[in-house]
Amino acid sequence: MYADRMGELPPYLFARIDEMKANKIRSGVDVIDLGVGDPDLPTPDHIVEELCRAARDPANHHYPSYAGMTEYRAAVAGWYRKRFGIELDPGTEVLALMGSKDGIAHIPEAFVNPGDYVLAPSPGYPVYRTSTLFAEGKLYEMPLSAENQFIPVLEDIPHNIAAAARIMFLNYPNNPTSAVTLPGFFESAVEFARENDILIVHDNAYSEISYDGYRAPSFLATDGAMDVAVEMHSLSKTFNMTGWRIGMAVGNASILSGLSRLKSNIDSGVFDAVQRAAIAALNGPDTTVKDACRIYQERRDVLVKGLRELGFAVEAPKATFYVWMQVEDCMGFAARMLDEAGIVVTPGIGFGSGGDGYVRFALTRTKERIREAIERMGGMGL
């Protein structure tokens, strides 16, 4: 019944986790979900109020622009200028997305021919893999190891693979490892892309969730990046707008033109009222973002301290709202956590072969619930 390509498509990791969690809840278990990275903090009031106002305006009830409202793209360009010091042409170097997943899922279809390679980090966001499969490309996993601080070693990519590659996905701050980029790596990636005629897609969805004074850069601030790269960003994590489905692709105009051409044949863009609300978010105060980071940092500290007291060796992340922890058997550990303690964590293998032997905790529950999770883990005799 299904198309052949569906046989290569694994069940979406987080959908499977949701199913397992629902089964436990139905059986009466008080589940503490530290699995999927969906912020529990509400969208700031001024953004919600702008949506309500805009939704009542009949002018916003028609088909939206494929590329995004002129005002929204200008707000994105203004935010990038203010945040990263990058000048973007709103007309050609900014494209509205239904969340960054939208852009990541579709860009291989615009640039990858059957049999072409896509280079993606492993572990990495699962959509890098599935988007490659839908484009009938071949995935080459770039291992992210602790010994290399979860940065891919570009020199290890075989020459024949690099020569046949069309896209390289990068993601810093990184999901799931929470690693941040190292000095000089982005420059090396630009050089690698030029030498091998590869376009780089940098997934920067977590740039604003950072701690201890760290400020994540944009890949596009790297010399030469605008010649070879686009960056996917999202309002989901920055402004607690995961359900709103609004994001942006920015960078090289030619690459964005190809993505826009593909998307215009698939969807009709983002509801204008949501774009109006996004403008309010991008142009508004950054105090709500700072407040969210303070809350996540407090949760991070509680979780890291508790895990260390239980005997686990974990690093306190500088960015993202994830804690990446090494275990002997990630699937067994995650299953035991759910069965014995009612705690959801994400097994690393779901992010690719490089995630085997790790689990990911999300800091998307209150300090009190995180403390309770630590107490339950202590009772498991880990």
Is 8 a residue whose pLDDT tops 90?
A: no
| Omega before 123 within 30 of 0, i.e. cis | yes
Cβ–Cβ contacts within 10 Å for residue 153, how many?
13
**Element (H or E) spanning 15, and its range?**
helix 13-26
Q: What is the mean pLDDT of residues 151-173?
A: 98
Residue 12 has pLDDT above 70, yes or no: no
Spatial CB neighbours of 219, under 8 Å, sequence gap ≥ 6: 170, 172, 186, 189, 200, 202, 204, 225, 229, 231
Domains recognised in the chain with CATH numbers: 4-43+287-378 (3.90.1150.10), 60-283 (3.40.640.10)
**374: pLDDT strictly greater than 90:** yes
Q: What band does 9 get if pLDDT is binned at 50, 70 and 90?
A: confident
| CB half-sphere exposure, 9, CA atoms < 13 A | 15
Beta pairing partners, 32:
343
pLDDT score recorded for residue 3: 86
Indicate the average pLDDT of the chain.
Answer: 96
Q: Examine the pLDDT at 32 and tell me if it is beyond 80.
A: yes
| pLDDT score for 13 | 66
Half-sphere exposure of 275 (CA within 13 A, CB side): 26
Percent of the chain with pLDDT over 90: 91
Confidence class for position 326, pLDDT limits 50, 70, 90? very high
Q: What confidence tens digit (pLDDT) does each residue in 78-109 have? A: 999 999 999 999 999 999 999 999 999 999 99
Angle between helices 272-283 and 70-84 (to 10 degrees): 20
- In terms of Cβ atoms closer than 10 Å to its own Cβ (0-12, 13-18, 19+), residue 48 is middle
The dihedral over CA atoms of 314, 315, 319, 324, expressed in degrees to the nearest 10, equals -30
Contact in structure between 239 and 289 (CB atoms under 8 Å): yes
Of 363, 359, 374, nearest to 326 by C-alpha is 359
Nearest 5°: the CA angle 191, 194, 195 is 85
Which pLDDT tens digit goes with each residue over 250-262? Answer: 999 999 999 999 9
Please tell me the predicted confidence (pLDDT) of residue 348: 96
230-243 pLDDT tens trace? 999 999 999 999 99
pLDDT recorded at residue 176: 98
Instruction: Give the DSSP per-residue string, 23-74.
Output: HHHHTT---EE-SS----SPPPHHHHHHHHHHHT-GGGSSPPPSS--HHHHH
What is the enclosing helix (H) or strand (E) of 273?
Answer: helix 272-283
List, for residues 165-188, the tens digit of each pLDDT value.
999 999 999 999 999 999 999 999
